[in-house]
Structure 1
Amino acid sequence: MKYISITFGLLMCWQILLLPSKSFCSITISGVIYGANEKPVEFANLTVVDADDGSLSEDAISYSPVKKINTEKDGIFQFQLETPGNYRLIILPLNHEITSIPLPLQNDNDEIKMKIFLAPIGYLDLLTEFNIYGNWNNFQFTASEKMKKQANGTFIFEKEYTSDTLSYIITIPIELMYLTFPRSNNLNVSSNAGFYSINNYGALTSQIISRDRHFKIIFDPSKIIQHRKEQLPKVIIENNHQDLGRIINLYLEYHRKLIDLSKKYWDHKTKYDEEIDYKNELVSYYKYMEDIFLEENEPLIVRQSAAVYRLLSFMSHSDADVDSIMIPNILEILPFNSNFWSFLPEGVSAITRSYKNINMKKQLLRNFEEQNPVKKVRAIALASLTHMAQYYNEKDKLIELYNELKSKYGDVKEIEFELKISKPDISSDLCVGIILPEFKLKLLNVDKVITNNDLIGKYYLIDFWSTWCSGCVASIKYLQNLYEKYKDKNFTILSVSFDNKEKTINKFQEEKYRMPWINAFVGRENHQKIYKDFEILSLPKAFLVDPDGKIVAGSDELMGENIVKTVDRILK
């Protein structure tokens, strides 16, 4: 009898293994992806990643996918996830904008059906130039080539290649990237391609075959859907997952708000050659999110999502103030030990910005490092503590925190930046109180240079930037305010551009910001020296320098709206 029971058990196991692919402990997600014309998309790639692999502030898909599939005919998709958890679904579609949505999944053996309606590419009408790059230059964006505009409004690119298959991506010129914020510079548009795929860098590529290895690519922007409906993108959940549907659409509402206000800004700028401030329109959205996460009758997971989106808006717009009164409310909904922080790991450092008390900032970050279950969140919290020790020149503390960071989280790729710049042996190079490194920079459009010595005797802000850096461009309005306020009070600004060509900067200043202060240009041959001397690993980067040439502020104190607050504090 014992052997019969064992045999019966083994037979049952084999029957279970031979059942259809849906497992007993899996979550099935299926549906259809529609375009802006409410017809199924021709092609889209779907990538599922863990929420903490990247964050909601990014649309990049060059991470480690949990699942990766392409849509079938008529936009149909289906995939399974083995366990509940916090995920992101990133949709890379043809002729539409990339869409990233949060997926906080709580239940085993679940089945979720959805309809996803995508937004069109909303800025093609602003563009008069298009570039192209592909497998002939190893997909190097910086080596993009210009497409030739035709009289009929189409764009053509011809190429001889060593293979009978050409893979390519149509993009926008680097000097026009500021027009597209917050969107991707890769357009993901169709041309006369034969088929589409995703390359090793996570980008949607078009392929065309030619037996004689002469290729002619034709792109017609007029065939791309341009009509923007106010409620796109959107997701409809078809079965009993109303909370999940609200969470997704609350995030997409935030995404729509950014895009709509961006387009409104450029429509106004093009028509009237003046800028508009849409802060008031953003404030109403922030209040809406705050009302949701403060409403006790709302489901907890919806309140947590609204708190994340409110913090995300603060990070995206530095003038969207999250004050020290609101922070405790956020931390009540999203306590230090909440795994919901995986959707926005960098938020743990951003949430401390409104605190003036340094010790309170340090305690908040230490609480995250000790209590949060997500390794990446803990790593970012400790990296922020390490950076603070470096910035305030706390040498002994820096050594202690750096060693702790390296031993605990040396394998977390998101803190590689901090590990490079926070080494104790370089800790005193660019701290407050240190003389700014010597420089000799070419002035823009003239055959002259500027050095440290030329600015001795006055306060100045040296700002390293580029037209292709969205964060840099977003900060210029604050620089303008500062310049007008203090230009007659022994203060000036030195903007140092890393663009490849001076004419790129000239075009930017003609079309967007005039920047009437001192402008310098770093030729490509000097990039590495300036990067090294000023420890620049990302843009923007700025230092406020006193009349003696000493650094009096830097780092987060000179990011976004903090620039105004810091300069006001020091110069008043």
Structure 2
Amino acid sequence: MFKIILIFAALLQFSFAGITINGQIKNAEGKAPKFADAHIVEFGGSTSKPLKSTHADKSGNFSLQVESGKYYMLYLTAVDHKALTVPLVTDEKEITVDVTIQLKANNYKKTFEDVKIIGDWNKFSFRSAEDMKKTDDGTFIYSLKSDAEKVAYQLIDVDNDGHSVNGNMNNLFEYDGGGDYKSIVKTVNGSATIVFDPAKVFRSNSKDVPKVVYKNNDELNQIAAIDKKANAGLDKYYSARRTYNSKHKSLDGFKFDFAPLAVYLEKQMNQDNKLIARYSATKYVKIINAKYKDADPKIAVELLSITDPLWSLNSNSLTNIYSEAYGKEKANKMIAESFNKIPSKSVQARILVKQGMEAKENDNLKLMANVYDKLVQGYPELKGELRWYLGELDPSKAIMKGKQVPDFDVQLIHSEERVSRESMLGKYYLIDFWAVWCSPCRVEMPNLHAVYKEFKSDKFEILSLSFDPKLTTVDKYRKGTWPMPWLHTFVEKGFENELSKRFEVIGIPKPILVNSEGIIIATGSELRGENLKKTLEKHLNKVM
């Protein structure tokens, strides 16, 4: 009977009419990783919600099967390594794909002064991460008590990318669902001592990684090469942007030469193989989004029709790119005519989100409410993905222009003084929910300082509410980076605080402008970037 079952299973695999992926994951040195997994993700979908996952064997081998007629992404993860997304884009109806993937090692810091730890004892919360104790021999230790047979943990502040990563105490691991791994330690008599040894950190000098090689499939190899080159160019752009902003505390004057990447992609977009040309266009869209002035959106939309499933890779961009190519009015008409034929529900939802957010900015509350209803009723499976937007578009929300600001009463840091809705009556003020760990919050610092310098008076104030885990983090940032010379308070437990819930804070930064009568007069994008000064001028020039 057992032999019959095996034969039947083999026949099922042999007769599978779809895409079969046989792969091998290698570490940065070309060897089998300690622990690795392979995942199949819907094209443009969330890597945290794979369609299928499988654990690689001790040699790094894995096998997955999916139906044909759709595009996918392979998502490869391994202990001590950066996760990698690989396009699996083919129009073949029945195909077996053999692929070898060599991953890139985690970008660990050169030296370790402060190492923090999180684990199942604190629900892996970054906010309540604790310091590991550095010992005389250079290792770091952390001791805890637990009734469980084992505890899982991760380290933070050990790599340059801000990830929570596995430790190196032993070889017991568990995938964390987000591209990294948890280390597992068994408890002894109700306690455990976790050790991190910097000398054992996996480092690699291997060049040209990550590397993806498909066996006997030139089309997929070309797509993988385009993906790698484009991603490398975009990574350089974002790295240069961060470095410039860190040095100048502003992006004013920042420039980046996209010309080499643009020329390369334009060449690929002229290939006879239309699938390769179309995939190249998805990467070209990204440099258009990065405001490369010489990029031509028309050559992208000529390859990517509104109903092209490849738009799933840039679901937020379809409306903008078509508007740049044909003008807003014509683009909206074209999109409306093809909307119901768009194969991706996510792309459809993002088009509606764009309409809703524009309606909100233009105070068209009727259209905003209509879009909200469409999203809630027509896209329930995307509720998590659209959570922030649904919060912004909800017509019943408390934080909305024209409504009274919710009641609050907070104590200013390093002071006995309290600030409340009542005490702020008679002046305009900007409420700023933020945190040092929040990159978009830090980007807004030059704008906040500029407008504070220009508008500070007895008729205007800023109140910043920090979501940082410790008050000392705020103090250090204000002392060494940006002084933020306005009112400050500290929000214990951040998003979980009752004040945060009252103000509907599900993401930061969250700026809110309130007038002298306690009425909300601007929110969101009206108070970000260059719009901040324009909005304040609009309202404050009347009273100053």
1:285 is aligned to 258
2:48 is aligned to 62
| Code of the aligned partner of 1:243 | Q
| Code of the aligned partner of 1:412 | L
SS in 2 for 1:424: coil
Deviation readout 1:216-254 (Å, 9 max, x if unpaired): 322112332446667443434443233222233135314
2:146/2:187 contact within 8 Å kept: no
Match of 1:408 among 375, 378, 381: 378
SS in 2 for 1:125: coil
1:26 is aligned to 18
1:335 is aligned to 305
Which blocks of at least 5 consecutive residues in structure 2 are unaligned?
1-5
1:290/1:306 contact within 8 Å kept: no
2:175 is aligned to 198
What are the residue-to-residue correspondences of 1:69-148 with 2, within 5 Å?
69-125=54-110, 127-148=112-133
In 2, Cα distance between equivalents of 1:479 and 1:554:
15
Tell me which moved more, 465-474 or 445-454: 445-454
1:501 is aligned to 470
Match of 2:198 among 192, 205, 221: 221
- Is 2:408 the counterpart of 1:450? no
Instruction: Check 1:398–1:290 CA distance in 2 against 1; reply closer, same or farther (3 A cut).
Output: farther
| Code of the aligned partner of 1:466 | A
| Code of the aligned partner of 2:437 | W
Structure number with the bigger relative contact order (C-alpha 8 A, sep ≥ 6) is 1
Instruction: Check 1:275–1:401 CA distance in 2 against 1; reply closer, same or farther (3 A cut).
Output: closer
- Is 2:435 the counterpart of 1:466? yes
Tell me which moved more, 15-24 or 331-340: 15-24
RMSD of Structure 2 on Structure 1 (CA): 4.2
SS in 2 for 1:376: helix
1:162 is aligned to 147
In 1, Cα distance between equivalents of 2:105 and 2:330:
45
1:86/1:343 contact within 8 Å kept: no
1:460/1:493 contact within 8 Å kept: yes
Deviation (angstroms), 1:490: 7.5
2:165/2:181 contact within 8 Å kept: no
Deviation (angstroms), 1:50: 0.6
Instruction: Check 1:571–1:420 CA distance in 2 against 1; reply closer, same or farther (3 A cut).
Output: closer
- Is 2:10 the counterpart of 1:36? no
In 1, Cα distance between equivalents of 2:458 and 2:281:
41
SS in 1 for 2:478: helix
Deviation readout 1:42-72 (Å, 9 max, x if unpaired): 2222221112432xxxxxx431x22212232
2:3 is aligned to none
SS in 1 for 2:256: helix
Match of 2:223 among 239, 244, 256: 244
1:366/1:382 contact within 8 Å kept: no
1:5 is aligned to none
| Code of the aligned partner of 2:386 | I
Deviation readout 1:188-227 (Å, 9 max, x if unpaired): 34x2224222257775222233564543322112332446
Deviation readout 1:263-319 (Å, 9 max, x if unpaired): 8669xx6xxxx447788887323772476248652344444444434545677xxxx
In 1, Cα distance between equivalents of 2:331 and 2:459:
33
Instruction: Check 1:213–1:254 CA distance in 2 against 1; reply closer, same or farther (3 A cut).
Output: farther
SS in 2 for 1:206: strand
1:436/1:545 contact within 8 Å kept: yes
Instruction: Check 1:466–1:330 CA distance in 2 against 1; reply closer, same or farther (3 A cut).
Output: farther
Instruction: Check 1:324–1:26 CA distance in 2 against 1; reply closer, same or farther (3 A cut).
Output: same
| Code of the aligned partner of 1:507 | K
Deviation (angstroms), 1:408: 1.8
In 1, Cα distance between equivalents of 2:130 and 2:25:
32
In 2, Cα distance between equivalents of 1:453 and 1:437:
11
In 1, Cα distance between equivalents of 2:10 and 2:204:
49
Instruction: Check 1:526–1:294 CA distance in 2 against 1; reply closer, same or farther (3 A cut).
Output: closer
Tell me which moved more, 389-398 or 40-49: 389-398
In 2, Cα distance between equivalents of 1:550 and 1:363:
37
SS in 2 for 1:222: helix
Instruction: Check 1:296–1:226 CA distance in 2 against 1; reply closer, same or farther (3 A cut).
Output: closer
In 2, Cα distance between equivalents of 1:291 and 1:384:
31
Tell me which moved more, 226-235 or 531-540: 226-235
Match of 2:165 among 167, 187, 207: 187
- Is 2:68 the counterpart of 1:50? no
Instruction: Check 1:16–1:552 CA distance in 2 against 1; reply closer, same or farther (3 A cut).
Output: same
In 1, Cα distance between equivalents of 2:133 and 2:24:
36
Tell me which moved more, 82-91 or 320-329: 320-329
- Is 2:325 the counterpart of 1:347? no
In 1, Cα distance between equivalents of 2:363 and 2:540:
22
In 2, Cα distance between equivalents of 1:516 and 1:19:
72
2:482 is aligned to 513
Tell me which moved more, 199-208 or 43-52: 199-208
Match of 1:208 among 180, 185, 204: 185
Q: Percent identity?
A: 25
Deviation (angstroms), 1:348: 4.1
2:407/2:421 contact within 8 Å kept: yes
SS in 1 for 2:153: strand
Deviation readout 1:411-441 (Å, 9 max, x if unpaired): 3222344445534344xx5444555445443
In 2, Cα distance between equivalents of 1:354 and 1:438:
43
In 2, Cα distance between equivalents of 1:232 and 1:491:
53
Task: Give the TM-score normalised by structure 1.
Answer: 0.77
Deviation (angstroms), 1:339: 0.8
In 2, Cα distance between equivalents of 1:201 and 1:295:
32
2:395 is aligned to 424
Instruction: Check 1:364–1:228 CA distance in 2 against 1; reply closer, same or farther (3 A cut).
Output: farther
1:98/1:184 contact within 8 Å kept: no
Instruction: Check 1:418–1:520 CA distance in 2 against 1; reply closer, same or farther (3 A cut).
Output: same
1:234/1:252 contact within 8 Å kept: no
SS in 2 for 1:21: helix
2:282 is aligned to 308
In 2, Cα distance between equivalents of 1:384 and 1:194:
47
